[in-house]
Structure 1
């Protein structure tokens, strides 16, 4: 009995110790560490709301605010938590996202350090790797060696010379949409004009372009994948501000739906890739006129360079079929979202500023007349390029970048310990009067007349596609598509905002028009 009592006593003590240890871990993670980080930043002159165990993030989004009267200040409507912190506490500010401390980085020199130093500043990862895959765990979500390996294989697909091959495909896709608009104008009861919500057509156009250029397939074949991706995005956005540990692992209806959608997306993409690979095995020449063909060719060359045949792939050499599927997933989502946003906001702003629409049209006719587009001519469109740069400054697709500090680092008067997250508030920096002047929130493409370096005065204050080694690999793809669309549009229409248009930008993955974009098109 005495031994049994001792054993039970020992077990009770062990249980108490385990509970105390777990309690200490929880206390440290959810209270002591956050308060320690907060104290460290306050000592360095940074300010923010005090940490609480039960944070209220209701101010993190202002997307439900009323519509804007003009385009000069969209920040109050779409600002993120980082912007709110800057407005409340100044440039040297921090804020809380759940129990995570995030530090605003607004100094251009510090921004450059963050975007160029991949060793100390890592891309923010989603709470669960499985969830990261749900929206495409491709190149943007890799780090270190894995990122270098994927980037090396993918780079050839986005080289400017390879993109030139895709010009005719982009032209055809854009021409199809604009021709449909012409038919609508002709059949309209109004003489020579038609009031159209162009946003759905632009979204379909971006889907069509990425489908054809990436996979050599029509929009109809890729339509289901896009629908699933957007449904997936809506589900994930619902969970974005849930900060309960392990929530992503629970078998809730939303989590089950996300996994089911992911499997369907992967199955569709795998079918596209398998069909292409079977053709390659049968001796058919790789289709080099689409991104998937270029990617498969680059992957095969990488495997061969490392001394492995096509049928023998060693782990860490080349990309697996699953990894290729993930990259295709990323092509679909990122390629469509960013470019569609750029095109629709360009139409909205040129509708508001007809003088710039006229200047751009004069340039287009001077370079092309009514002739078909070619790459040499597109490269000569200086005014069009200035306009696109200014649209991206005022309406960047993403409102902020986030990085995790992987190792203790000191940047001038700021010391950041490992584990802290930093935020680069793109919209705020793009609209900052101290960096861009008193007219920072006005549409003035002439500020880019001498190029980006001159417009920014050599400071890193403009980065809609990121900057440094991890700059968006699809930047040239997106800009080329937008330039082709705008050129064809200006050749055939003048356009202005409809009285039915409501200016209501909303941040859903990227910056979009909440109520569409009603435009009055007039045929030239």
Structure 2
């Protein structure tokens, strides 16, 4: 009996010693990352996440960069050291020079996204990217623009109906989100969400999965270490798991239907998924995507093409309402291009020739990029300057830090100034490693042209039809860690633009 007690005691002491080493001794005293400046850990359990989620800190990434420089060490869950960077040498290595030396961290969103293009790695990613490129040609995207306009026109009618009922103060974000969801459903896989006009089970499930909360973020991070956490029967897990089940069921039914149409030669749609399936039919067996890989692209289109455009449009309206003179200049350009708002139906080329609109869009993406951080883990040891970055280090490229760096953008870095994009003396210094709303290189967003065209059409039709103002004294916080969404609902005072 005493031998058993001794063995148990040794085991317990060993476990305690191992945990102490992993969460305290190694992160503080041994890791090569200890030489990199950064804030001290606040907790052996949650590291520095309390600072990142502190509602009193407006943009925690920026605050760390200002204090510690462009390579900052911080601590994640279980006190594991990680990096936040805006160092352009490292950014270039990660995004352009050695892309596949850096992998995406395992996240529980794979439960509903699957290993589609965003979460695939190495040769698998190369295969999917090569196969999907033809679906995002100029020809295909320009044919989607009428769909953007048609759905956006439903949004215009909805706003006008509210105004006819005496409403002038309207919270627009939920309606813009439904607009972009309806659009990506149609152009992505010819699915009628109709969420602007009616409830939809798949739309509701998807909203649950992509709407971030601080608790959801913590559970997601913990589930990377302890997958069983998602099985604990609490309300947030029940909602997550039920939503995953709905998404998987609907995606499987949709892909089965389209594959059956492809077998009989009846798949004639121009939506992205139909184009992919028809391309897939022509490929040699070693290059084909499996049925499951094709199914995963459904959620890829949704996640990449919905919330990012929705968030960017909400921020653009906020910035234009805050700067009415800029809003007036944009409207002048739109009125000149489209004198009759009742026949607003731009082509892809027309919407992309509007210089000031392009400046407004880019400046919005600079100040409020939908992707505030690009997360990677290096699979090889790396050396940058005097710093050794051991393999398996969690690295965050701070898009926010790059986009708001005075070294890159000058003394007016915090100003909303669309005209900066029309000044060659300023734009000549901007590269694809200093402006990263869609990432860059082999892992850059494959649908960036689609997203930009959609953003421009929705914003244009809104500004052409309405004047947007903010309630006096209204100010919105900028959250840049778990989400780029506004921290509070933006209520606009809306009035009509006369024809």
User: After TM superposition, is the score higher than 0.5?
Assistant: yes
User: CA–CA distance in 2 between the matches of 1:490 and 1:380?
Assistant: 17
Using the alignment, how far apart are the partners of 1:327 and 1:160 within structure 2? 20
- Alpha-carbon distance change, 230 to 57 in structure 1, aligned in 2, over 3 angstroms: farther
2:258 equivalent to 1:276 = yes
Equivalent in 138, 150, 163 of residue 116 of structure 2: 138
| Alignment of 1:173 onto 2:165 | no
Match of 1:34 in 2: 27
Q: Superposition pairs for residues 372-383 of structure 1, below 5 Å?
A: 372-383=345-356
Q: Does 1:396 align with 2:369?
A: yes
> 8 Å contact 1:398–1:509 — kept in the other structure?
no
Partners of 1:420 and 1:58 in 2: how far apart?
A: 17
Q: Does 1:212 align with 2:186?
A: yes
SS across alignment from 2:141: helix
Give distance in 2, aligned partners of 1:206 and 1:20.
55
Does residue 183 (structure 1) correspond to residue 161 (structure 2)? The answer is: yes
Q: 1:90 aligns with which of 69, 73, 77?
A: 69
Moved more, 55-64 or 461-470: 55-64
In structure 2, list runs of 5 or more residues that go unmatched. none
Q: CA deviation at 1:342?
A: 1.0
Quick check: 246-255 or 207-216, which moved more?
A: 246-255
Q: Please, which of 101, 113, 116 is the counterpart of residue 120 of structure 1? A: 101
TM-score, with length taken from structure 2: 0.87
Out of 72, 85, 96, which is 1:105 matched to?
85
Paired positions, count? 484
Task: State which structure, 1 or 2, has the greater radius of gyration over its C-alpha atoms.
Answer: 1
| Alpha-carbon displacement from aligned partner over 1:399-421 (angstroms, at most 9, x marks no partner) | 21121121011223332111212
**Residue 321 (structure 1) aligns with:** 291
Shift of 1:146: 0.9
Query: 1:300 aligned to 2:277?
Result: no
Are residue 291 (structure 1) and residue 280 (structure 2) matched? Answer: no
In the alignment, structure 1 residue 355 sits paired with structure 2 residue 309: no
TM-score (norm: length of structure 1): 0.83
Counterpart contact for 1:447–1:455, Cα < 8 Å: no
Give the superposed CA RMSD. Answer: 3.1
Decide whether the 8 Å contact of 2:331 with 2:464 is kept in 1: yes
CA offsets 1:107-149 (integer angstroms, 9 cap, x no match): 22221112122232222222x6xx5223454211111011111
Q: 8 Å contact 1:104–1:422 — kept in the other structure?
A: yes
Task: Encode CA deviations 1:163-186: one digit per residue, 9 max, x unaligned.
Answer: 11111111101111112223333x
In the alignment, structure 1 residue 248 sits paired with structure 2 residue 227: yes
Instruction: Supply the distance in 2 between the matched residues of 1:452 and 1:155 (Cα, whole angstroms).
Output: 33
Task: Evaluate the alpha carbon distance shift between residue 349 and residue 256 of structure 1 in structure 2; reply closer, same or farther with a 3 A threshold.
Answer: closer
Matched, 1:196 2:170: yes
Structure 1 position 510 matched with structure 2 position 490: no
Query: Post-superposition shift, 1:497?
Result: 1.9
Query: Structure 1's 223 and 476: CA in aligned 2 closer, same or farther, altered over 3 A?
Result: farther
Q: Partner residue of 2:378?
A: 405
Change (3 A) 1:14 1:208: same
Aligned pairs for 1:66-85 (under 5 A) are 76-79=57-60, 82-85=61-64
Displacement of 1:388 in angstroms is 0.4
Corresponding position of 2:200 = 223
Instruction: Structure 1 unaligned segments of length 5 or more: list them.
Output: 66-75, 309-315
Tell me how far apart the structure 2 counterparts of residues 392 and 170 of structure 1 sit (CA, whole Å).
Answer: 19
Q: Which residue matches 1:46?
A: 37
Task: Answer whether contact 1:134 1:259 (CA < 8 A) is retained.
Answer: no
8 Å CA contact 1:124–1:402 kept in 2: the answer is yes
- Which of 51, 57, 61 is matched with 2:52 structurally? 61
1:175-217 Cα deviation digits (max 9, x unpaired): 11112223333x2558xxx332221211111111111111222
Partner of residue 70, structure 1:
none
Residues 1:159 and 1:455: Cα distance change in structure 2 (over 3 Å)? same
Mapped partners of 1:252, 1:285: distance in 2 = 42
2:307 corresponds to: 337
Selected match of 2:451 from 471, 478, 481: 478
